[in-house]
Amino acid sequence: MNGRKTLFTGGMLGDAALGGASGHGVAHQLAEWINTANTTAYDKAIDSVYLSTHVGGSQLHHLLDGQHDIFGAFEASARALPNDTLWQELMGTAGHLGKDLFSVSGLPVVSLDPAGYASASSWLQEHLFIPKHWLGDLLQINGLELFAGVLSSAAVVVGCRQADVRQLAELASAGGLAGVLSANPIGLCAAVVALAMACKVQRAGDPALQQGLLVGAGTAGSVALAGAGLTALGLGGGLLPALGAVALSATLGMYVRRFLIRAVGGDGSSATSHERPHWRIPTPQELDRLARSLVESIPGPISPDISSAINARLSASV
């Protein structure tokens, strides 16, 4: 049971951390390392449409040039050299798509016609207020989004096997928020599945669904804010600093999740009691105590200067 809880929590926090600003920094660093320049005939053949027309620009040509899905890329590789073997064509295709998977934009979920995409994206932006850049990101997936989606999907499997309403609701709100921030199609699908399963197994009168949604949203929101703050402070330059920002934001999310679970009542699993919590606005003194206890619970030494600055800020707020 503890192993399943660890997998669930790790999957939820990892998905939220990688979907934020610090995760975006990791994606940029991986792109610089892995998505290297085209050197082979297969690379140039697969990128030939973009190199000749520049359709979609640097962010959308994988989606719109018709040669970056598996079948389109292989067809282009097959035309690259006259006397190569099938194995060489397969390896050339895999090598190029592997590099492009770790570009910032990633590979397309499905290739689209440029005119059809332009028309559909304009309609969605005008009528549903969905930004074009977000839609383009949603229809492509990079290596980091794939990894985050696998983490989220693993957490969904754990929640479904345990039929735990609160855990599934947590994952639905946390994964949904992370999926929206990163435009991750796998994460969003996992969140929808988690919410559907939570609604299916919820008992009448059990507040676990609402509690889980609140805890998940608060956890993912804190992770996203921490990642954005750390990135703004310059902790996103370089792969190791970016990974450090991901780890720090996930750690903060773990502590925030514990506080939220205690605030709504219970131990993180669906309770048998049908009592609903009584919500009220906390007093400034209660907020002060909560903030102090959160700071004191963070592991590791805190320098006296930082500690005194935090205490002064907390004292000035009440």
The residue among 215, 249, 257 whose CA lies nearest residue 232 is: 249
Q: Are 137 and 106 within 8 A, CB to CB? A: no
**Sequential DSSP letters for 172-235:** HHHHHHHHHHHT-HHHHHHHHHHHHHHHHHPPTT-THHHHHHHHHHHHHHHHHHHHHHHHHTTT
What CA–CA distance (Å, rounded) separates 289 from 275? 26
What CA–CA distance (Å, rounded) separates 19 from 272? 33
Q: Are 205 and 160 within 8 A, CB to CB? A: no
What CA–CA distance (Å, rounded) separates 122 from 128? 10
pLDDT at residue number 278 = 45
More confident residue, 37 or 43: 43
- Among 21-25, 27-31, 46-50, the range scoring the smallest mean pLDDT is 21-25
Q: Please, is 134 exposed, middle or buried when counting C-beta atoms within 10 Å of its C-beta (0-12, 13-18, 19+)? A: middle
What CA–CA distance (Å, rounded) separates 54 from 20? 30
What does the pLDDT look like over 6-17, one tens digit per residue?
767 777 888 888
pLDDT at residue number 304 = 59
What CA–CA distance (Å, rounded) separates 54 from 188? 30
Q: Is-above-0.85 flag for pTM?
A: no
What does the pLDDT look like over 268-297, one tens digit per residue?
554 433 444 444 556 667 666 766 666 565
Please report, rounded to a whole number, the percentage of residues in the chain having pLDDT higher than 70.
Answer: 80
